[in-house]
Amino acid sequence: MTPEGEVKKEIRKALAMAGLPFFVPPVGGFGKMGISDFIVHYRQRVLFIEAKATSGSKLTRMQAIFRVQISDSECPYWVVDSSNVDELLASLRNFKEEIDLCFSNSYLPAKKS
């Protein structure tokens, strides 16, 4: 397995442990060039995760363009590599907890009877 493949494996494991649904867009001629490796969708929020082998790995031109295109949406875009993959699970749990807090009963209007 490639070094980037190892990082992707760890990302999948962290997403499963955090209980966050995700999908992996198709690559090649069937997908959008530059789209992130993982798209997480949880309670009306979207998180994009790009996997890289090492911290020195740069985004490709198309990945950089995609990152700029989604920047107006205020969706987080994380680059995860071998130097920060160990911190991912905690970050994912924080992401989920913040969203759950926004959807807790204290933030929702009272139901009309």
Instruction: Kindly report, residue by residue over 41-55, the tens digit of the pLDDT.
Output: 999 899 999 999 988
CATH 3.40.1350.10 fits 3-104, yes or no: yes
Question: In this predicted structure, which of 52-56, 82-86, 107-111 has the lowest mean pLDDT?
Answer: 107-111
DSSP 84: T
Residue 107 pLDDT > 60: no
Sheet-wide strand order for 38-42: 22-23, 38-42, 45-51, 77-80
Residue 72 pLDDT > 90: no
Q: Could you tell me the pTM of the whole model?
A: 0.86
CA distance 44 to 35: 19
Which is more confidently placed, 108 or 52? 52
- The DSSP H or E segment spanning 6 is helix 3-18
| pLDDT computed for residue 80 by the predictor | 94
| pLDDT computed for residue 61 by the predictor | 95
